[in-house]
C-alpha cells in the first residue's frame, strides 16, 4: 500500500533532519549548512553535508543523499515504508493500517470550514461547561491568568477525555465518517472504529486572515505525549502556509511582527496589549510563511526558546527570513523561560521596552560563537576571531561584510584589515573547495563507469547531462512542473534517452499532479535509497548555480530532443542494417 500523502507530509513537517542525522553523525556548522563524516563510507575529511534550506543531505564522496526518510533507510537498512514508520513513531504519528484506506479525498474547502466551525463551537461549549471544562478553565484562567475576554477572543475550547464525544456530536450534525477523517478531527482504529483525534486537551482554533476556522491545536491536560497536538494538512489547511493569530496581528504589524514558538506565547502577548505576535504551527518556520510575512511587515523579531532546539530554530529562521528580504532581530528574555512568565514577573510595559533591545542576526550568531570563550586568553581569542570571520564570510553582501568587520574589529580589539584578510581567505577557500568538488563530480559523471543507478548514461553522456539539468530544475521549481503538466512546456517521457531519466520524469509529474503541493519525500516511494541519492545530486547541482531561468530549461529541452532524434536515427539505422544482413543470410541459404 502506498502511504497516504498527508501522513508523509505530517512526518516531514514534524521531523528536523538535523536532529535525526545528528543522532548518528557528529555535525558541525559549515556556513548555513551542517557537515560531518559520512556514515556510509570511510573518510577522514567530511564530505557529508546536511542542507537546512532543503531539509536534505548529500555526500559528495559516495553519492548518498535525499531527505530524512532516505537517511533512515540507509542508516537502519529499512525499506521506504519501514523508514516512514520509524520516523512516524519518533514523531508520535499513527500510520493507517487499513489497506483500503487512501489519502484524503476531494472534500471541498467550504465543507472543511463548516465542519471546523461546528467543532470549534463544540469545544468552546465544553470549556464553559462548569463540570466538563472545570480543569481546563482552571488552567487557562487560574494558572495562565487569561481573562474571559481573551479566552473568548481566541475561541479557546476543550476536548473532553472521551474517545467518541466529538465524533458522536459531529455525526448528529450530518457530517460523514469520511469527512471527519479527511478533516483530521477523527481517526480510525485498526478495528475500523472512529475515535476523537483531540482528547483531554485545551483547544486552540487556528483562524485564517478571512476569519475561517481552518485547523486546531491541542495542549494535553496530563502527562500524555505529545504535549501539543496539531491538525495535519487537509483540503482547507496547509500548516506551512499559515500562522497562528495572523488574523489579529495583520492589523498591527506594518512596522514589525513578533514571531514566537507557541500558542500560549502569542496569547500572553496579545493579552498584554502586544498584538503583533504570531506563531508557527508546530513546525519550524517555512519559506512559504516567510513570504507571507512580507505582505504584512518589513521586520521580524524572533522570540524563540533559549535551549539548543530554539537556537537552531533561530539560526534557520534568520536565513529563511533574510532570503525573502525581511529585516530580522532576535529578542532574548532573561530570568524567564517564555513571554508569558516574563510578563507575569515584570509586567507588559517592561516587555514592550525590552523590544527595543533586540539584536541583529549577526549579533546573535556572534554571541553564540563566544559562549565559553574568554577573549583575554590568546587561544580563545583566536578561536573567536575564526568563528566570527566564518560568520561574516556567510554574507553575500559586500556592504554587510564591511559593517560586520567594523563591529568585529571593535569587539576583538584587532585591526580591521587583518580580519578582512581572514574573511577573504575564507571565501576564497570555500570557492576553491566548491570548484574542486564540482570538477571531481564532473569527471566522475563524464566517465559513468559502473553506474548502477543509470547504466544508460555511458551510452549517451551528453543526453544524460541534459536530462540531469532538466530534472534538477523540475525538482526545484513548481512553476516548471506546472508548465509541463499544462503543456506550456512541451516535454514528455518519450523525450528522455535514458530509462532512469524517463522514470524520474514520470515520478516527478505524478507527484506534482497529486492532491496538494509537490512533496519531495513522496518520490522515495518510487526509488531506492541509492537512486534518491542521484536525485538529490541533481537538485543540489542546480541549486548551486545562479542561472536557473526558463531559458536554461528551454535550451536544455531543445538539446535533449536533438539527442533523442540522433539516437532514434542511429537505432533505426542499426535495425535496418541488421534486417538487411538477415535478408542476405536467407538468400545465401536458399542458394
pLDDT at 506 over 90: yes
Q: What is the pLDDT of residue 449?
A: 52
CATH of 5-91, one of 3.20.20.30, 2.40.37.10, 3.30.1360.120, 3.90.580.10: 3.90.580.10
pLDDT at 384 over 60: yes
Cα separation, 453 vs 307, whole angstroms? 42
Q: What is the pLDDT of residue 402?
A: 92
pLDDT digits (tens, 9 = 90+) for 246-266: 999 999 998 899 999 889 999
Residues 6 or more apart in contact with residue 468 via CB below 8 angstroms: 445, 501, 537, 538, 541
* Residue 543 burial by Cβ neighbours in a 10 Å radius (0-12, 13-18, 19+): middle
3-class secondary-structure state, position 4: coil
pLDDT digits (tens, 9 = 90+) for 129-139: 999 999 999 99
DSSP state at residue 2: P
pLDDT digits (tens, 9 = 90+) for 283-294: 788 877 888 898
Query: From residue 398, how far is each of 361, 365, 388 by CA, in Å?
Result: 16, 18, 16
Q: What is the pLDDT of residue 582?
A: 60
pLDDT at 99 over 60: no
| Per-residue pLDDT band at 105 (split at 50, 70, 90) | very low
CATH of domain 246-367: 3.40.1360.10
Q: What is the pLDDT of residue 447?
A: 54
pLDDT digits (tens, 9 = 90+) for 330-347: 998 888 888 888 898 898
Residue 95, sorted as left (phi over 0), alpha (psi -120 to 50) or beta, turns out to be beta
Q: What is the pLDDT of residue 581?
A: 62
pLDDT digits (tens, 9 = 90+) for 451-479: 788 888 888 888 899 999 999 999 998 88
Q: What is the pLDDT of residue 577?
A: 56
Going through 280-410 in order, the beta strands assigned E by DSSP cover: 299-303, 327-330, 359-360
pLDDT at 445 over 70: no
CATH architecture of 457-574: Orthogonal Bundle (1.10)
Q: What is the pLDDT of residue 76?
A: 84
3-class secondary-structure state, position 178: helix
CATH of 109-236, one of 3.40.47.10, 1.20.1090.10, 3.30.230.10, 3.90.980.10: 3.90.980.10
Whether residue 162 contacts residue 130, with contact meaning beta carbons closer than 8 Å, is answered with no
Tell me the whole-structure pTM to 2 decimals: 0.57
Is the peptide bond prior to 226 cis by the omega test (within 30 degrees of 0)? yes
* Domain segments of the chain as ranges: 5-91, 109-236, 246-367, 370-431, 457-574
Q: What is the pLDDT of residue 75?
A: 87
pLDDT digits (tens, 9 = 90+) for 8-58: 888 888 888 999 999 888 899 888 789 999 988 877 788 999 998 888 999
pLDDT at 236 over 50: yes
Q: What is the pLDDT of residue 100?
A: 45
Range picked from 91-105, 367-381, 538-552 for highest mean pLDDT: 367-381
Whether residue 385 contacts residue 419, with contact meaning beta carbons closer than 8 Å, is answered with yes
Q: What is the pLDDT of residue 574?
A: 57
pLDDT at 282 over 70: yes
Rounded to the nearest 5 degrees, what angle is found at the Cα of 35, between the Cα atoms of 33 and 38? Answer: 140
**E strand or H helix at 313, and its extent?**
helix 308-323
Amino acid at each position: 500500500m502506498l502511504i497516504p500523502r498527508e501522513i508523509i507530509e505530517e512526518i516531514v513537517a514534524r521531523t528536523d533532519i538535523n536532529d535525526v542525522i545528528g543522532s548518528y553523525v557528529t555535525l558541525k556548522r559549515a556556513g548555513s549548512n551542517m557537515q560531518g563524516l559520512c556514515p556510509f563510507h570511510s573518510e577522514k575529511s567530511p564530505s557529508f553535508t546536511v542542507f537546512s534550506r532543503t531539509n536534505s543531505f548529500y555526500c559528495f564522496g559516495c553519492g548518498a543523499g535525499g531527505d530524512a526518510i532516505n537517511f533512515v533507510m540507509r542508516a537502519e537498512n529499512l525499506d521506504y515504508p519501514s523508514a516512514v514508520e520509524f520516523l512516524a513513531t519518533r514523531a508520535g504519528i499513527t500510520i493507517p493500517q487499513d489497506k483500503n484506506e487512501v489519502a484524503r479525498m476531494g472534500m471541498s474547502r467550504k465543507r472543511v470550514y463548516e465542519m471546523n466551525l461546528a467543532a470549534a463551537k463544540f469545544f468552546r461549549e465544553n470549556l464553559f461547561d462548569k463540570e466538563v471544562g472545570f480543569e481546563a478553565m482552571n488552567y487557562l484562567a487560574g494558572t495562565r491568568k487569561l481573562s474571559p475576554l481573551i479566552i473568548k477572543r481566541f475561541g479557546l475550547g476543550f476536548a473532553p477525555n472521551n474517545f467518541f464525544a466529538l465524533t458522536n456530536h459531529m455525526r448528529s450534525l450530518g457530517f460523514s465518517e469520511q469527512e471527519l477523517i479527511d478533516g483530521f478531527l477523527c481517526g480510525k482504529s485498526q478495528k475500523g472504529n472512529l475515535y476523537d483525534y483531540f482528547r483531554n486537551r485545551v483547544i486552540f482554533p487556528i483562524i485564517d486572515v478571512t476569519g475561517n476556522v481552518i485547523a486546531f491545536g491541542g495542549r494535553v491536560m496530563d502527562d500524555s505525549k505529545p504535549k501539543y497536538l496539531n491538525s495535519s494538512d487537509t483540503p482547507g489547511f496547509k500548516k506551512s502556509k499559515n500562522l497562528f493569530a495572523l488574523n489579529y496581528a495583520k492589523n498591527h504589524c506594518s512596522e514589525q511582527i513578533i514571531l514566537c514558538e507557541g500558542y500560549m506565547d502569542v496569547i500572553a502577548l496579545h493579552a498584554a496589549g502586544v498584538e503583533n505576535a504570531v506563531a508557527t504551527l508546530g513546525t519550524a518556520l517555512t519559506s512559504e510563511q516567510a513570504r507571507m510575512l512580507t505582505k504584512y511587515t518589513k521586520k521580524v523579531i524572533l522570540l524563540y526558546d533559549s535551549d539548543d532546539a530554539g537556537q537552531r530554530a533561530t539560526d534557520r529562521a534568520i536565513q529563511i527570513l533574510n532570503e525573502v528580504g525581511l529585516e530580522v532581530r532576535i529578542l532574548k528574555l532573561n530570568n524567564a523561560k517564555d513571554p508569558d512568565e516574563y510578563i507575569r514577573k515584570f509586567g507588559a510595559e517592561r516587555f514592550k521596552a525590552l523590544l527595543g533591545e533586540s539584536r541583529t542576526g549577526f549579533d546573535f550568531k556572534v554571541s553564540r560563537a563566544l559562549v565559553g570563550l574568554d577573549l583575554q586568553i590568546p587561544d580563545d581569542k583566536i578561536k573567536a576571531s575564526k568563528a566570527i570571520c566564518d560568520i561574516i564570510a556567510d554574507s553575500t553582501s559586500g556592504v554587510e561584510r564591511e559593517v560586520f568587520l567594523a563591529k568585529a574589529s571593535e569587539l576583538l580589539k584587532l585591526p580591521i584589515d587583518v580580519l578582512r584578510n581572514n574573511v577573504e581567505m575564507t571565501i576564497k577557500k570555500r570557492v576553491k573547495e566548491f570548484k574542486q568538488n564540482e570538477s571531481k563530480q564532473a569527471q566522475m559523471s563524464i566517465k559513468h563507469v559502473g553506474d548502477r543507478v543509470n547504466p544508460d548514461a555511458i551510452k549517451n553522456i551528453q543526453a544524460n547531462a541534459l536530462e540531469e539539468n532538466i530534472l534538477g530544475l523540475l525538482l526545484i521549481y513548481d512553476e516548471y512542473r506546472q508548465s509541463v503538466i499544462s503543456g506550456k512546456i512541451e516535454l514528455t517521457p518519450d523525450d528522455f534517452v535514458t530509462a532512469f531519466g524517463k522514470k524520474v520524469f514520470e515520478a516527478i509529474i505524478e507527484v506534482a499532479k497529486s492532491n496538494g503541493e509537490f512533496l519531495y519525500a513522496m518520490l522515495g516511494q518510487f526509488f531506492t535509497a541509492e537512486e534518491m541519492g542521484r536525485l538529490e545530486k541533481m537538485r543540489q547541482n542546480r541549486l548551486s548555480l545562479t542561472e536557473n531561468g526558463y531559458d536554461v530549461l528551454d535550451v536544455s529541452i531543445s538539446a535533449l530532443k536533438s539527442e533523442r532524434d540522433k539516437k532514434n536515427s542511429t537505432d533505426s539505422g542499426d535495425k535496418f542494417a541488421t534486417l538487411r544482413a538477415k535478408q542476405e543470410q536467407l538468400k545465401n541459404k536458399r542458394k
